[in-house]
Amino acid sequence: MKVWYRNHRPLWFDLILKETPVSAQDTSPSPPERVLNVLGAFLAAPPEGTPPELVEELARIGGTGGDPLPPSLFFEAVEQSPLAISITDAKATILYANRAFEALTGYAREEVIGCNESILSNNATPRSVYEQLWRTIGRRQTWTGTLVNRTRAGGDYLAELIISPVLDDAGEPRYFLGMQRDVTKMHQLEAALRQQKARIETVLDAAPVIMVLLDCVGRVILDNQEYKRLLGDLRGREPLELFAEALRAQAGVELLACCGAGEGFKDVELSLSLPGSGGTRWFSCSATPVDESEASARSYFGAQPERGEHRLLLLANDITQRRREIERAHLENLRARLAEQQLMHGMREALAAAIYQIQGPLNLIQAAAGMMRSGGGHADALAGMLEQISRSGAETLAALSAALPEEPREAGVLVNVNTLLRQVLEIQTERLLANGIVVDWRPAPLLPEFPGHKNQLRAMFKQLIDNAIQALGEGRRAQRELRLSTRALDGEVEILIEDNGPGIAPEERYRVFEPFRSGWRNRRGRAGMGLALAQEIVNAHGGSIEVDPDFTDGCRIRLSLNTARKEER
């Protein structure tokens, strides 16, 4: 600071300092001389703690650069200064006060000269403040602070004060230079602002919605408790960054661009993944542009805020609970549909089995009839009877075939195999847990969607997982594992379903796909039609299914579904 002053001090100070030095012998020079003397000494060596703006202001009053004011004019400038200036002796007895001091305090200078500055004291200032004031200036440092003062008329005002000691040539405080301004209005405004802010914060914090006010570079201007709670859940990662990323990735909305353009949006649903066991949380987000009134000088005549000065209020409503309920209801629905389908398959299997069973005897009867016919003669009557049996048997078959329920035709929609497998796994969770099976689920991060029949595919995946569960139950492994993975290949999606159960013998690899082929030890409820139907479904999707011959640690079913196939209408 002293270095600054040396570079900027007006020329006339050197003159004053030479002619009117502050000395211990200095006996009451005339007011102008004393003022110039004190100010000159102060500016020559501003005490520690003096605000640079004050030194600058006083230097400006005296005129800087090549055109310094003569001392008489400088004294007049001090007199006219808008800053209330007073000069006291070492005991705070007022020796000089300028016009602004008179205007601020209501005392004429003749009334206050000779009085202690305590004449302005109001009982509302704590004693400790005065003690600190005197300790500071006693250490030859500048004190800055706020006191509650009283005017001559008895009105209170809040004075922002700067008190600087001016030392004599022996280094002792000879004078004190006091400068004060009324900051009552500012204090009232600040108090009103604080109160307003407290009110707004109370309302924001009471709202059960995340609220955050941001600027166009993504800074948080204001937030509420719900936002802070999410910040905690995210372990310090700024929620605003995650919202911006999720809005971009999941809804194509650029949050900061919206802020810059002064545009909002409504009810955009997105999900955030929370670290640890936080799981996925769903939010419905809306944003409203906020045009804050501009505080800069150029806005005085109503200039509009710059593009970058817009604000955006982002509201995020946590809809995780609702979302979970919808998903649960969806799964329940699926579960019911799968059970229905399973029932239908059961019926189909049973009827198909009956047809199959009847076919055998019928064949025999037909053969016997043929033989008898070739034997000739008396056997004709028997042959006629057998033919009748055969005819009625064929009619039974036709009736049974007609009774077979039609597989419901399902509309082809775009399917994502990962979603279907995940749904089936969720439905099977309880069974998998009850059987102590560890599931290793490795979906491909990105799978092409293709036209297919969701219900059929879901039923097929359930059948294959059911098979794996049964195989694991019949195996002897202590650790039961089910591994599922998907990957996108050229024009197809490959699905691997592996279990570390007893596996399928090489000679059975193809036969297991025949109808009524069953190798289970426990055949209850299993007609041996599961893989036959799975093959039918895979074929309908232009794909293939096989038992992987290279897999020896159990059974691996490899499916591939054609993604390039056009849906038949």
Which residues are near ligand FAD by CB under 6 A? 86, 88, 91-92, 116-118, 120-121, 125, 127, 130-131, 134, 138, 147, 149, 159, 161, 163, 176, 178, 180
How far is 343 from 351, CA to CA, in rounded Å? 12
Q: CB-wise, 132 or 401, nearer to ligand FAD?
A: 132
How far is 428 from 409, CA to CA, in rounded Å? 25
**CB of 171 vs ligand FAD, minimal distance in Å:** 17
Q: CB-wise, 134 or 516, nearer to ligand FAD?
A: 134
**CB of 140 vs ligand FAD, minimal distance in Å:** 13
Contact between residue 441 and residue 425 where contact means Cβ atoms under 8 Å apart = yes
Q: CB-wise, 75 or 176, nearer to ligand FAD?
A: 176
How far is 38 from 62, CA to CA, in rounded Å? 13
Q: CB-wise, 134 or 441, nearer to ligand FAD?
A: 134
**CB of 161 vs ligand FAD, minimal distance in Å:** 6
Backbone angles phi and psi of 79, in degrees to 5: -55, -45
Q: CB-wise, 101 or 461, nearer to ligand FAD?
A: 101
How far is 4 from 290, CA to CA, in rounded Å? 43
Nearest residue to ligand FAD on Cβ basis: 178
Q: CB-wise, 159 or 234, nearer to ligand FAD?
A: 159
3-state SS track over 63-117? CCCCCCCCHHHHHHHHHHCCCEEEEEECCCEEEEECHHHHHHHCCCHHHHCCCEH
Largest alpha-carbon pair distance within the chain?
Answer: 167
**CB of 106 vs ligand FAD, minimal distance in Å:** 13
Q: CB-wise, 36 or 230, nearer to ligand FAD?
A: 36
**Half-sphere exposure (CA, 13 Å, Cβ side) for 122?**
17
Strands 173-182 vs 210-215: parallel, antiparallel or unpaired: unpaired
**CB of 96 vs ligand FAD, minimal distance in Å:** 11
Q: Please, which residues have CB within 8 angstroms of residue 31's CB and are 6 or more apart in sequence?
A: 95, 96
Q: CB-wise, 5 or 176, nearer to ligand FAD?
A: 176
Residue 218 backbone class (left: φ over 0; alpha: ψ -120 to 50; beta: rest): left
Q: Give Cα 537 distance to the centre of its chain.
A: 43
Q: CB-wise, 134 or 356, nearer to ligand FAD?
A: 134
**CB of 105 vs ligand FAD, minimal distance in Å:** 8
Q: CB-wise, 109 or 526, nearer to ligand FAD?
A: 109
Backbone angles phi and psi of 237, in degrees to 5: -70, 130
**CB of 243 vs ligand FAD, minimal distance in Å:** 52
**CB of 119 vs ligand FAD, minimal distance in Å:** 8
Contact between residue 194 and residue 215 where contact means Cβ atoms under 8 Å apart = no
**CB of 126 vs ligand FAD, minimal distance in Å:** 10
Neighbour count for residue 158 (Cβ, 10 Å): 20
Contact between residue 230 and residue 273 where contact means Cβ atoms under 8 Å apart = no
Q: Which residue type does 343 have? A: L
**CB of 157 vs ligand FAD, minimal distance in Å:** 10
Q: Please, which residues have CB within 8 angstroms of residue 466's CB and are 6 or more apart in sequence?
A: 428, 530
**CB of 151 vs ligand FAD, minimal distance in Å:** 11
- For helices 52-62 and 31-44, give the axis angle rounded to 10 degrees: 130
Q: CB-wise, 137 or 460, nearer to ligand FAD?
A: 137
